């Protein structure tokens, strides 16, 4: 008896057996599997062929990509990387963007690392302190920093700014709306319900149109309001309504006993809510909250419609308007790059929610 050879053989057999169970249990299933294997192979080959084999890797304009049968036009991405990442933010001041990113990571990474103490302090830093620092760093006008007008912000920087301001502003607003909708005061409950249902019933595009066209009309005639701020107001107000519904779900899942126990301890409404109910409710709906944030992150791309150039907007603009780089594959390459960046962020967020 040879244990090694015997084990080897059974391992092969077992693998084959498992493969057969997984892919070829019956005739019909086998056919399905074969078609799918062919599909995977065809798609994978087409992709490798486009992204590597036929791709153009060097060149200082689109001429190399204009040859027939060329694949991806990678120099378009490498030459425009600065534009895609920062918009027209002045190159000499980019350290301010990098410092902001570093400060954000310094807060976010320990927040998501299990076993790190002082999570609450970190959360307060991220929600209250960091936005102020980020504003001063990015916009300037204080501490000897030059003002960089928001017209120059763009690309991934703008995407991240809109998404993070939207998240930071809509989170407290969403909590307030959810509490209001569960309030015992009829008028409070009624106003919150109307607001939430109205906002959830209309598309973000119309909310952005409203923020961009109607918001200036609502304000006194001598007040002008930055285009980016208008978009931020629209995104935050829109997202808060969705977040409120998620949080309301968490509030409803808290057993009555918790409310009654807090009452019995003599806690008032705000202490009962803040110390007993909300911490439990929010923990329950973390996946839903993260999903809302992912949706908000993807939705930031809609600011293209009111004339702001986030990552997708600036890729689209470069694809459509830059004759120097125009080629049959420029658009596909640019979209692939933007899609890959968005995918990475959204996928990372959905993974992070399972850690929290």
* Shortest separation between residue 116's beta carbon and other proteins, angstroms: 27
Query: Does position 316 bind other proteins by CB under 8 A?
Result: yes
Q: How does DSSP assign 254-310, residue by residue?
A: S-HHHHHHHHHTT--HHHIIIIIIHHHHHHHTHHHHHHHHHHHHHHGGGGGGGT--B
* Shortest separation between residue 114's beta carbon and other proteins, angstroms: 24
**Cα–Cα distance list, 66 to 56, 76, 333 (Å):** 10, 12, 13
Q: Which of 89, 91, 234 is nearest to 152 (CA)?
A: 89
**Alpha-carbon 335 to chain mean position:** 17
- Three-state DSSP state, 182: coil
Q: Which of 248, 285, 252, 233 is nearest to 174 (CA)?
A: 248
Binding string, residues 188-217; x marks residues near other proteins by CB under 8 A: x--x------x-xxxxxxx--xx--xx-xx
Query: Does position 353 bind other proteins by CB under 8 A?
Result: no
- Three-state DSSP state, 87: strand
Residues touching other proteins, count (CB under 8 A): 55
Binding string, residues 71-110; x marks residues near other proteins by CB under 8 A: ----------------------------------------
Give the span between the Cα atoms of 236 and 201, in whole angstroms.
16
Question: Would you say 128 or 214 has its CB closer to other proteins?
Answer: 214
Query: Does position 294 bind other proteins by CB under 8 A?
Result: yes
* Per-residue three-class SS string for 4-37: HHHHHHHHHHHHHHHHHHHHCCCHHHHHHHHHHH
- Three-state DSSP state, 332: helix
By CB under 8 A, what part of segment 134-193 binds other proteins? Answer: 184-188, 191
Question: Would you say 25 or 141 has its CB closer to other proteins?
Answer: 25
Of positions 13, 67, 339, 355, contacts other proteins by CB under 8 A: 339
Query: Which region, judged by CB under 8 A, interacts with other proteins, from 53-61, 161-169, 282-290, 302-310?
Result: 302-310
Query: Does position 25 bind other proteins by CB under 8 A?
Result: yes
Binding-site ranges for other proteins (CB under 8 A): 22-23, 25, 29, 32-33, 36-37, 39-40, 184-188, 191, 198, 200-206, 209-210, 213-214, 216-221, 294, 298-299, 301-302, 304-305, 312, 316, 319, 328, 331-332, 335, 338-339, 342-343, 346-347, 350
């Amino acid at each position: 008896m040879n244990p090694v050879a015997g084990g080897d053989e059974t391992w092969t057999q077992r693998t084959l057996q498992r493969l057969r169970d997984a892919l070829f249990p019956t005739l019909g299933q086998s056919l399905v599997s074969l078609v799918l294997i062919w599909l995977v192979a065809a798609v994978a080959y087409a992709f490798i062929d486009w992204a590597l084999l036929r791709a153009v890797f060097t060149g200082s304009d689109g001429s190399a990509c204009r040859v027939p049968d060329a694949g991806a036009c990678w120099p378009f991405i490498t030459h425009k990387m600065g534009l895609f990442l920062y918009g027209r933010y002045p190159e000499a001041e980019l350290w301010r963007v990098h410092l902001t990113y570093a400060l954000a990571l310094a807060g976010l990474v320990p927040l998501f690392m299990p076993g790190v103490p002082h999570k609450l302090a970190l959360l307060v830093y991220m929600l209250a302190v960091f936005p102020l620092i980020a504003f001063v760093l990015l916009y300037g006008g204080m501490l000897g920093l030059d003002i960089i007008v928001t017209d120059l912000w763009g690309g991934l920087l703008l995407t991240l700014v809109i998404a993070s301001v939207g998240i930071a502003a809509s989170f407290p607003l969403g909590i307030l709306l959810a509490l209001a909708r569960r309030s015992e005061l009829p008028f409070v409950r009624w106003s919150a319900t109307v607001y939430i249902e109205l906002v959830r019933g209309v598309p973000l595009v119309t909310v952005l149109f409203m923020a961009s066209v109607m918001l200036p009309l609502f304000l006194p005639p001598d007040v002008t309001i930055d285009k980016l701020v208008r978009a931020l107001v629209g995104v935050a107000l829109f997202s808060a309504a969705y977040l409120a519904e998620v949080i309301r779900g968490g509030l409803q899942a808290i057993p009555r006993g918790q409310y009654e126990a807090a009452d019995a301890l003599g806690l008032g409404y705000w202490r009962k809510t803040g110390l007993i109910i909300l911490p439990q409710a929010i923990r329950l709906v973390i996946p839903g909250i993260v999903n809302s944030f992912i949706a908000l992150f993807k939705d930031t791309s809609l600011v293209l419609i009111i004339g702001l150039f986030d990552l997708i907007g600036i890729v689209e603009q470069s694809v459509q308007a830059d004759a120097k780089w125009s080629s049959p594959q420029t658009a596909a390459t640019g979209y692939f790059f933007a899609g890959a960046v968005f995918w990475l962020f959204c996928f990372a967020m959905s993974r992070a929610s399972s850690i929290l």
